[in-house]
Each structure stands twice: as structure tokens, then as C-alpha cells.
Chain A
């Protein structure tokens, strides 16, 4: 993996391009980063929405991530696969600022972060789901989804209690947007149930809804189909694709089921022991000997094998 010298150039670009400008500019300096991985079908010319540069992360002696380079183009579905403990979740945690990498940077929309500010993540247009369910069990499905818009709320508690100022409007707006998403993901039937009382597969879908309601530009999904039946998986896959198409969202997707991943993603990065061992289109990854040795060969044993 070329740990490129362009990193220096990148620094300049980001230092001199405050957020305001970065959004509006074509960001030509970064297009060289895209060139690192010249494969892929869509939007080769577009500046990447997300770039990881030389990310390294270890826990005590365990190297979770080593020298990871990754670029994600606007509008693509970018899968990350790899065996258990390969560092996939760690990568998403780095992108969402839950972990601070020991080395390297994250570039979101051309802006460089040593650690992505989690508190501002939603404002940056990034939403995510978690490998282990992270719903608010004590809230209804509707309220869970509406909470995905909490970052926008500007009314204060006094206004909300008294029902004055911008609070009633905000409330109406977030509930109606939440309702739309529920309809989109076919969750209207469970709208008023407590999230904690739903079956696992539905909880996963509610979590997707909570992430989608903010119409993020970048959506990070950590094993959204884990533990689902084959039909639930394909349903979820079609929801992910539909979400991408409808909201023009860029998706980073971790998933163990290789069959689902191959069908769903535009490009796949393969991790093994914290290193990226391949990064290409589904067809190329399928035939990559290293990937077969490290992951695919194993996967057909311990996964349900569907679609491989």
C-alpha cells in the first residue's frame, strides 16, 4: 500500500481551507487521492467524501488497525469485509470519532481531523449504526427515529415545556420526518411500540431509520444484517440500496455475508489483522488469492454460506 508523500500536500489544503470554503470548492488537490485506487465504475472524477490516511490504532499490544488507507466516493456503497477481529468496527469507530487513532488522519469532505469530533458528527452529515444494538430501549420506535434529528433542535427546555417559540414547529417537523422514514422502511406498524420490545431484526431496521432520518451524506453501517435470516438480509440490502438512491447517501458497510456484500457494494476493502489486504470491485475481490486465503475460504465454513 503506497503510504504516499501526497500527505504533505493534503495538510496544506486542509489547513488553508476552513469548513466554509471546503464545501464550495472543487477540492482538486484531493482528486490525486482517488487516483490511488483507480478501479470502480462511478464518479471516478469526483472528490472523495471520506479519506483515511495512514490510520493506525492499537489497544495495548493488539494492533487493531495498521496503516489503513481508504477513500470513499460520493454516492458509492463501500463495503469493508474481513474475519472476526480484523478491525472493521474499529475503523468505523475511528471514522465516527468514537476512537482516536494513534496515527493518521480522517478527511471528511476535505477537512482533516486527528479525531473526528463525535459531538459534531451529525452536523457534519455523518450517521452510523452499531454492531451491537444501540437503540434507546425506553423510547418508542417513533421517538427513537425522531431522536436522529436531535442535533438540529434549537429550542430550549423552557420553550418545550411551555410549548412556545420554535419548539412546537420543531416537534411537528421531526415527528413528520420520522414518520416518513418509518414508512420508507416499512416500520409504520410498530411506530408506537417501545423499541426494546421489538424482535432483533426489526430493531436493526429501526436503528437504520434513526440514522437515515437526518439524511446523512455519509452513512456508516456496522453489520446491519448480522443475525438475520436470509430473507431479512435481502430485504435489508434492498433498504440500504434504496436509501442510497433516495437520499444520495454514501454508504460504508461492514458485513460478513459475502453474498450480500458482492451484490450490494460498488467497491470492497478487505481487512485482515488490521491491515488492508485488498481494495477493489466485487469481482476482483472474489478472485483475489489473498482474500480467498484470509477470508473467503474461511467464511464459507463459519457463515451460513448463502450466496457464495
Chain B
């Protein structure tokens, strides 16, 4: 047999892997708060962080464990409303406590709606996760207890503070979101490279073989639902508490679920970084499109046209990605980076 020497490793970057995320975090904590405008925080970074985290959560379930879900927004809503109610009803519970408990509630709901995955696969599973989407939204609108009997169903999120330090301003909320997202993303990264993460991939790639080698398939699937829903639930808290500053069921509709699915498809399935690449595109793209449209077409380009053109371009993008780059923006980025590095090394 011909000896297979690895031909791919020669171009590997020389820097250790942790350098890039550490530099990025240093920049995000040290530089961005100083130079960012409030528009940057309110319109770009906060939704980016919330959706990126939701993408990480969905990627664990769909990208790694191979279980398609259209219920992400339901788990976000569960997280947001649970955190609101814990915060409202439990005396003396610190905000962080409410958030963790909210994640656990979302995780429990995730397990319940993950049960069909023990029998269903692919498309059928996706349809059954729709049940979560509709049920949660229905329950939150139907029972006004969840929104503290407020007449409009729209409630103000509590003021953010950690350890007595108020984080109300745009920068404060940004740092609050950034911290939670960084911690959970780091843990998610550890998870997907652990034995459990490899079990997720094994079940995704070949369920029968996974069962034969003794991976507890049913337990592992439910674990994927639980962990994924926890993360998405916390993303929901960030979305409502830090970004919108209101808690309402409407924002967590099926469109949002699809949006998060698109984030991981465009960004890259089974990639933690991919979720943030995808979220960045999803957040920045409509802003860019509206500027471009306004610039080219002037007044004709109103919000209706924007909304429609946004859907069309996004749909086209997704089809393009599925055909040309099924591994998403991450793969594209890695390829470009490798090229640049090679070019740089050869000069």
C-alpha cells in the first residue's frame, strides 16, 4: 500500500490555536467599548452576540449531533420569560441565578420536545420540533401569568446589574452580553471536543455504528437537546434583557427559528466559530442592504421593499451556500486565510 503522507499539514499556520480567540477577546473588552458608537452596540453587537450564542446552541444540536430543529425561537422565548419570572418572583435571587435557572427551564422544555428524536429523523423530526415552536408561543400568549398579567403582553426587562454594578448603558449591556457569550462559547468549545462531543458526531454520522460501539444513543440525543436548549435559552435572555430590553412572545416566532437555522447553515455546520460568522452576516446584511438600496433607489426603497429584497437575497445566499460551500463561511475563511498565509510565506 502506498504510504499516505499528509499533504495538508504543510501549510498549517504556526500560531497556537488559542492566540486568535484571546486576541479577539482582548480587542472586544479593551478596545471596542472605547471606540464603539451606541449605534454599533445597539444595532449590531448586541443582536450579533445573542444570535451568535443561539447559533452555537443550535449548532450543538444540529451541526454536531445531527438533529434538525425548528424550535430554536421557542427555547429563546422560554429562556427570556423564565428569567423574567424568576427575577420577578424569587426574592433576592441574583440576576445570574435567574439566568442559569432560565437556561435549566429551557433545557427541560428542550428535553421534552427532543423526545420525538428518539424515533424520528431528519425532516420528520424538524416538523415535530415545530410543535415546540407553536406550543411555547401559544402558551406564552395564552397565559398572562407569564407576562405578569400585563395588558399588552409586552413587559420591560429588569435592569441589568452584576454584583451591584449597574450595566444599563449600551456599553454595560454589551459587556454583560459579551461575558456570558464568551463563557458559554468557551464551554461549548470544550464540549464539542470532548468525548461527549465526539459521541454527538458519531450519532450524526452513523447511528447504527454508534449504537454498536456502545454509545448510549438515546441518552446522548436527549443530552444534545438539553445542552443546546440551555444555551439557546440563555441567548434568549440576552436578546430580551440586553438587546431589546423588553420581553414579548412575538419576537420569538418561527421566522426567528429559521433565522438561527440559516445562521448555522451560512456560517458553517458543526463549527462554533461558524455560528458567529453566520450571525455577523445575518445582522450586518440587512443594514448594508438598506443603505445600499437607499443609496441606489432613494425613496422607492422603503421598509416593505427592504424586507422583501432581504428575504430574496438571503434565500439566494442560502441556496448558493448549500451548493457551493456546504461547510459555510468558516470553510471559506479558512481557505482564504491559508492562501494568504502561503502567499505571505513564499515572498
Contacts and interface: CB of A to CB of B under 8 A. Distances in A.
Given A136-B202, A157-B194, A193-B6, A147 B213 contact: yes
Contacts of A162: 190
Contacts of A210: 213
A148 B196 CA distance: 13
Interface in B192-238: 194-196, 198-199, 201-202, 204-206, 208-217, 223, 227
Contact of B191 (A122, A157, A171): A157
Interface residues of B, number: 33
B195 A170 contact: yes
A134 B198 contact: no
Interface in A234-273: 235
A189 B5 contact: yes
Contacts of B213: 122, 127, 147-148, 150-151, 210, 214
A198 B2 CA distance: 12
Interface in B265-279: 270
Contact of B205 (A136, A148, A167): A136
B212 A118 contact: yes
> Number of contact residues on A: which range applies?
35 or more
B215 A128 contact: no
A13 interface: no
Nearest to B194: A160
A119 interface: yes
A98 B214 contact: no
Interface in A204-218: 210, 214
Given A161-B190, A199-B4, 6 more contacts: A118-B211, A127-B212, A134-B208, A143-B198, A157-B191, A193-B6
Interface of B: 1, 3-6, 8-9, 187, 190-191, 194-196, 198-199, 201-202, 204-206, 208-217, 223, 227, 270
28 contacts: A96-B212, A119-B211, A120-B214, A122-B214, A123-B214, A134-B209, A136-B202, A136-B209, A137-B205, A139-B198, A139-B205, A147-B215, A150-B202, A150-B210, A150-B215, A152-B214, A156-B196, A157-B223, A160-B195, A161-B196, A170-B195, A171-B194, A171-B195, A190-B6, A193-B6, A201-B1, A232-B1, A235-B1
